[in-house]
Amino acid sequence: MDLFGTTRSRVTSQHALITPDTWVWQDLPGWRGAKGVVHISPHMGARFVQANVAIDAGGFTGGAAEGVERVVWVRTGKLALKLPGGAAHTLVAEDFAYLPSDRPHELKAIEASNIVLFEKRYVKAAFEFPEAIVGKTADAPGVAFMGDEQARLQTLLPTDERFDMAVNVFTYQPGANLPQVEIHVMEHGLVMLDGMGVYRLGDSWYPVEEGDVIWMASYCPQWFVAMGKAPARYLYYKDVNREPL
Ligand code: UGY
Ligand code: MN
């Protein structure tokens, strides 16, 4: 157990590690019967929001703020999703939905549920507007990352230019690692879904485990190695397909 007054959490101008012991739950605008923790937001220098939302049975949201798109990824529970036009879906653990901006939806918990929420102001481009997408994580093919069968990447959303965000799942066998220290213009928000490892962020190396949240600003040097006896898996966001200017 941690000594009082200490935590593994760390917040810097280029990255943050936010461990569950430091989470503070609050009411969220636009939600009823739910409490959330906003882990990543423009208040720390990010250009998107990542939150964890715990929804009581019957709790709901009627959509994001104007101009804001969402991805919902279900950790636990069961929810009913209604899309514009009337399509209805039931979401259970590891299901996800991409909800485009300015098209109201209703998401209501059938059972007490816990979700990861990513929100971003949609940047329009000279392409068709993206439609809502609902899927199951297990159905997304896992591709060997840069040829490494031990590090598999699942891309949950289509990668064409209608979309300005990506949400992916990365699964590493114990001992597998990101093949290079990455430095890139895209930023990331990440939550560890399973397992453990060491994340390099900037010039610091952090032990991380299931439940930990990480923010990486544009150009934050990043690297990961999985440790332990079981695979490590994380869900992460990145901004894609738009001019950096
Ligand atoms: O998509 C990515 O940039 C990914 N390889 N980064 C990461 O896992 N930190
Ligand atoms: Mn990266």
Q: Nearest C-alpha to atom 9 of ligand 1 is from which residue?
A: 222
Work out the angle at residue 211's Cα, subtended by the Cα atoms of residues 50 and 63, and round it to the nearest 5 degrees: 30
Q: Assess whether pLDDT exceeds 90 at residue 162.
A: yes
Are 194 and 89 within one domain? no
Are 88 and 129 members of one domain?
Answer: yes
> CA 69, CA 63: separation in Å to the nearest integer?
9
Same domain, 15 and 132: yes
Collapsed DSSP state (helix, strand, coil) of residue 22: helix
Residue 2 has pLDDT above 80, yes or no: no
pLDDT the model gives residue 188: 98
Looking at the predicted structure, is the pLDDT value of residue 223 above 90? yes
Q: Which domain holds residue 175?
A: 138-239
Say yes or no: 29 and 51 in one domain: yes
Q: Give, for ligand 1, the residue of 145, 159, 171, 178 to mutate: max count of ligand atoms closer than 8 Å to Cβ.
A: 178
**178 alpha carbon, closest ligand:** 1
Q: What is the pLDDT of residues 52-95, one digit of tens each?
A: 999 999 999 999 999 999 999 999 999 999 998 889 999 999 99
Whether 244 is in a domain gets the answer no
Residues 132, 25 within the same domain: yes
Residue 42, token pair as written in the block: 């423009």
Domain boundary residue, one of 118, 137, 156: 137
Taking the CA atoms of 206, 220, 141 and 212 in sequence, report the sign of the dihedral they define. Answer: positive
CATH code, domain with 50: 2.60.120.10
Residue 245 counted as domain residue? no
Q: Rounded distance, CA 170 to CA 192, Å?
A: 10
Q: Which ligand is nearest to the CA of 218?
A: 2
Which H or E run contains 34?
strand 31-40
Residue type, 63: G
Tell me, yes or no, whether 132 and 19 share the same domain.
yes
Among 122, 137, 152, residue at a domain's last position: 137
pLDDT of residue 173: 98
Do 169 and 105 belong to one domain?
Answer: no
Q: What are the pLDDT digits (tens) for 99-147?
A: 999 998 999 999 999 999 999 999 998 778 899 999 999 999 999 999 9
Q: What is the DSSP string of 138-193?
A: GGSPEEEETTEEEEEEEE-S--STT-SEEEEEEEE-TT-B-SS-B--SS-EEEEEE
Q: Are residues 65 and 109 in the same domain?
A: yes
Q: Which of 137, 167, 202 delimits the end of a domain?
A: 137
Given a cut of 70, whether residue 175 has pLDDT beyond it is: yes
Q: Are residues 161 and 99 in the same domain?
A: no
Question: How many domains is the chain partitioned into structurally?
Answer: 2
pLDDT-based confidence at 1, cuts 50/70/90? low
Verdict on whether the full-model pTM lies above 0.95: yes
* Distance in Å, CA 188 to ligand 1 centroid: 8
CB 156 within 8 A of CB 140: yes
In this structure, are 132 and 219 located in the same domain? no
Q: Estimate the share of the chain in helix, then strand, then coil, as percent rounded to the nearest 5.
A: 5, 55, 40
Mean pLDDT for all residues in the chain: 97
Task: Give, using CA atoms, the residue closest to atom 1 of ligand 1.
Answer: 238
Residues with CB under 6 A from ligand 1: 170, 178, 182, 188, 222, 238
Tell me, what amino acid is at 111? E
* Pocket-testing residue among 146, 167, 206, 222, ligand 1, by greatest number of atoms within 8 A of Cβ: 222
